[in-house]
Structure 1
């Protein structure tokens, strides 16, 4: 039985519900405007709504201008047209801020939980660095002067004209999620990352998105990430360079639970495989993306990722996004068998494969024989086959998948899924034929779901 909530707690929940982009680093501009307008109106409704609404309004910021303007007439706005691309600050100090202005700055900075600085930045955050050298009133503690955002939990950094070193000005003890957007190869960014562990000791989620494909410093990134022993989630899916050294570094993170990464064009043949002592101790979700042109890119990668002595990983969820190799090649043993060997047959619960339309003229090639290795996974509950694009699903393919789904369901109540949006021939008539072989079993367990 849940306890009754106090009025103040109810007000906070109402404001958090209205602020739909509170925990979303990628919310659209229109969504943010609607949320802010709603909360601003709510703040003016009554005094009891004012404080929780203001806190929600400040919780997510897309630039730091409102916060800097809390310093009042001590700050002057510069030339906006020339500051974005020249690297010069938009704001400058006219005079030292007063104690009241600094207190107001600290008050609202404590409300901020997420900062999304996107290119081009609305303000050059270098002005925050100048705050450190100002004379602060005695009422402000040393910790408040050094940590401007004590409650900050998430940052999306897409400011390529601002030196990467200044990111440390935003980090705080509660920092949990860091998203970096790389538009150019920044050596300073790569080499400074490991120093941030002192500014964000609680960081547990890291994502890096490259807008260019030629990156040679990903290994340095992973070396820096190795300093954050608290990481549980890493997303390198939009990073286009990796090596066995990178995998060894990441495998040493003791609490890493979810990893998304890309298999690049390079060939892994001859690389040194992971040692048994460097296996991912806590990894339970792995998503692999392959854009390589070589048909053996997956196979050669597996020789690196395959643990020595075939000690399986404790993976619960395995997803493969393949845009390089024809379906008929990758879906035959020993390919599926190699992926199965990565997993503990008593642990893996879901397997997903997504391929490019150009290599998939139809799903008739998906036969029960090719899925046989998956049947050895006793704990498997969900199998997803998601071709990209619209393709025709003929009657024979429908019947074959129905048989596969029936066989899996009879053995372990497996949920066999095919993406509806990708199947041009998946009609109600086909759906009836698909479900009919499984009519003796509970429909919730064996339906060919339309995801």
Structure 2
């Protein structure tokens, strides 16, 4: 064996490279060839054994592979005729079998539990036994979980925990798992119980869960490591927050709400400061215009106005009318000088004109994605659009309404091209008396990276279908001409 393989750093790089997979393939789904290779390396020599075994057992799709190490259970598990329910009539592990089951459990770093079928086989294990002393990540999706099932998995080293619902075993997870950084509770949970669990966590970085009470929010504001909070309700609920004191989330960068009424979100924005907030997201089933205006105003007045880069506010339905001034509403966002993404679809329409679009782009020099759709006839013209685009060279996704009937630009006389924009979505409905060829030529000449124009409300009406067909024709003709020029240049001896 080459002496370089005795250098642990080199060996680690080789083995880790062998174990690396494409991003679309993870964990147990990795190729059998990779696992067989690691198993073969583990049997090759003592130098390879420990590292290969660590990688081989690092990820576990449940407990079945570990039970396969138990002499009594091995034939049942790996018998081709064995059924999924093989364990139902099997006695729990005896004391002399514990070491066989635990032989490799200390190597497990990531485990995904989709069923608790085999848990009863561990019934005789001493309650203080730490089955996975090195576990870093736990994903528990098992249904009908019994009290005590999770106790074997709550390792002091656990950093990431995702559960399908709030189980009684998690009551003091923050105390049992002091290293916990990421905690996700996917399903509905009692607010008081969930808040008590969250208050036991002292070093969280990310929290995804159902609504919390005021005491839990106050606790979260004291955690300096906290970076991300996402509150998700399965249905639109009224979520009162009382007795909030003023506090600061020093390092929180992401704040997201789904299914929560605006009143609760406003209470949080008014009572807390977010000096490091970069991303704000809110989805409501219905978001009336008056509440949307309150939300816009509150965001613009909080300290996060100097740091916010991504804002996404949306609702599941459009309001048929409103009495507010959408021009004034849009101006509430002009103070966000670091804005990269702004997507607003929380009401019937956001009305823009050339002047406001220009003012917005002047205020957002770093903007990369903008969605402000007006469902009424637009007053943004092509000249207003391209004048604004000159100010935002990094914009790649744009969703606005354009008055395509008003051709106020001559593409042959313009040298400007916006080469970054790739997605153009328009909100204008199908209109009569539109010059399809001129519209297509303008887009082709000045937005060369846009393959086709899409309509926000879904589907492609005849107008835009015709424009896209013309765009495809222009691109094909341009490609053919370029090919002929290249061919002519190659054959020309001069």
TM over 0.5: yes
2:155 is matched with 172
Q: Which residue of 2 aligns with 1:70?
A: 69
| Inter-partner Cα distance in structure 2 for 1:316 and 1:446 | 23
TM-aligned CA distance change 1:75 to 1:312, over 3 Å: same
Q: Which residue number in structure 1 is paired with residue 369 of structure 2?
A: 417
State whether structure 2 residue 203 is matched by structure 1 residue 230: yes
Q: 1:373 aligns with which of 326, 329, 332?
A: 332
- Pick one of 128, 139, 154 that aligns with 2:122: 128
Would you say the 8 A contact 1:257–1:283 is kept in 2? yes
In structure 2, distance between residues paired with 1:57 and 1:392 = 55
Aligned to 2:217: 247
Unmatched 5+ stretches in structure 1 = 22-26, 134-144, 292-296, 425-429
How far does residue 204 in structure 1 lie from its aligned partner after superposition? 1.1
Could you tell me which of 193, 203, 212 is aligned with 1:220? 193
Could you tell me how far apart the structure 2 residues matched to 1:97 and 1:423 are? 72
Q: Report what 1:285 is aligned to.
A: 254
Superposed, 1:22-421 pairs within 5 Å as 32=27, 34-43=29-38, 47=44, 52-73=51-72, 91-93=90-92, 96-97=95-96, 102=99, 105-118=101-114, 120-121=115-116, 123-132=117-126, 146-182=129-165, 189-190=167-168, 192-210=169-187, 215=189, 217-236=190-209, 239=210, 241-262=211-232, 265-267=236-238, 271-276=241-246, 278-290=247-259, 297-298=261-262, 300-308=263-271, 312-326=273-287, 328-332=289-293, 334-346=294-306, 348-356=307-315, 358-359=317-318, 368-378=327-337, 380-385=338-343, 387=345, 402-409=357-364, 413-418=365-370
Q: Which whole-Å CA distance do the structure 2 matches of 1:434 and 1:58 have between them? A: 60
Q: Could you tell me whether the CA contact under 8 Å between 1:92 and 1:127 is conserved in 2?
A: yes
Change (3 A) 1:37 1:366: farther
Return the alpha-carbon distance in structure 2 between the equivalents of residues 94 and 229 of structure 1: 36
Shift of residue 73 of structure 1? 2.3
CA distance in 1 between counterparts of 2:396 and 2:143 reads: 50
Partners in 2 of 1:203 and 1:329 — Cα distance? 40
Task: Measure how far apart 1:108 and its partner are.
Answer: 1.6
Give the aligned CA root-mean-square deviation in angstroms.
Answer: 4.3
Q: Does structure 2 retain, via aligned residues, the 8 Å contact 1:39–1:56? A: no
Larger radius of gyration: 2
* Partners of 1:403 and 1:315 in 2: CA distance: 28
Q: Shift of residue 161 of structure 1?
A: 2.9
More relative contact order in 1 or in 2 (CA 8 Å, sep 6+)? 1
Measured after TM superposition, the shift of residue 290 of structure 1 is 2.8
1:344-389: per-residue Cα shift (whole Å, max 9, x none)?
333x232322424631789xx99553222222244x332321649x
Which whole-Å CA distance do the structure 2 matches of 1:176 and 1:367 have between them? 45
Aligned equivalents of 2:13 and 2:36: distance in 1? 18
Asked if structure 1 preserves the Cα contact closer than 8 Å seen for 2:136 and 2:160, the reply is yes
Distance change in 2, residues 1:447/1:66 (3 Å)? closer
SS of residue in 1 equivalent to 2:151: helix
State the distance in 2 between where 1:54 and 1:125 align.
24
Deviation for aligned residue 1:6: 3.4
1:199-255 alpha-carbon deviations (Å, 9 max, x no partner): 311011100011xx5x4x23212212211211111001xx3x544344334434443
Residue 141 of structure 1 aligns with which residue?
Answer: none
Task: Say which SS state the counterpart of residue 108 (structure 2) adopts.
Answer: coil
Contact preservation (8 Å) 2:58, 2:107: yes
Looking at structure 2, the residues matched to 317 and 243 of structure 1 have their Cα atoms a distance apart, in angstroms, of: 24
- CA, structure 1 residues 232+357, in 2 after alignment: closer, same or farther (shift >3 Å)? closer
For 1:138, the equivalent position in structure 2 comes to none
Shift, 1:181, TM fit: 0.3
TM-score normalized by structure 2?
0.64
TM-score by length of 1: 0.69
Name structure 2 gaps, 5 residues minimum: 1-6, 399-420, 424-494
Which runs of structure 2 are paired with 1:419-434 in the superposition (5 Å)?
A: none
Match of 1:139 in 2: none
Question: How far off its partner does 1:110 sit?
Answer: 1.9
| Partner secondary structure for residue 179 of structure 1 | strand
The residue that corresponds to 2:15 in the other structure is 12
